[in-house]
Amino acid sequence: MSSLDESHLEVDGCLNFRDAGGWALEGGGRMRTGRLFRSDDPVRVTPEGRRAVAELGLVAVVDLRQHAQFVRSPGFVDPAITIHRPLVDRVIDVDNPPPLTDPEHLADLYEEMFERSREQIGDVVSIIGDRIVSGPVLVHCAFGKDRTGIIVALVQAAIGVPAESIADDYARSHEPARRRREWLLAEPLHDDPPIHRSPAYMFSAPRRSMEILVTRALDRHGSLLDWTRSFPLRDGTVERLNEGLREPS
């Protein structure tokens, strides 16, 4: 699981559909593969891409997009197993954006997302815990790096994925996010968001951004597990995440 190609799946119409597992865990064992997937959105997914997703046997898809994004096209799977839990992600004013030129700027944006969506984040992590014990789960947003990135980081933190691996997993979104931005600019759909008005740096995933975020979390909470537990999780969520995602040595 050390390279971008090995983690990404061929889903026609997506550029950032991948397995979030495979990481060695603190204390031994590994994060299971084939159990937690993460992705960009299904707006451009082809019938061939949908068949590839169907073969994964997903028991749930957690869609983090805002309502205006959610209703643009059919989701990845049957609506009966699609759970829509929007997270706040518009934390910049595209008419007067702040300077976004440094990994720390993205870490700052993620911290603002944490503050504005604490209840929703706790709910999403709890939902993943509820479903992951039964089978594979997909969590996604639009580009699969920001909203999805912080949720996957918290799940990985809960089960003992080391800080450096959490940062490595996040950084796997860097090239796909840049390529997706270029695709949307070159072949826009009529209802695409105006990404040309947002700083290009928004569509990157530098490893250093997650390093900063995790380091801040460790400074404040003392451990990655306590970072995840600082959100309002339902009772038993961490235990269920470990049951569904932790592969013994």
Instruction: Locate the domains of the chain by residue range.
Output: 4-244
Pairing of β 18-19 and β 137-140: unpaired
pLDDT tens per residue across span 212-234? 999 999 999 999 999 999 999 99
CATH architecture assignment, domain 4-244: Alpha-Beta Complex (3.90)
Q: How does the average pLDDT of the chain come out, rounded?
A: 94
Per-residue pLDDT band for 89 (boundaries 50, 70, 90) equals low
pTM: 0.95
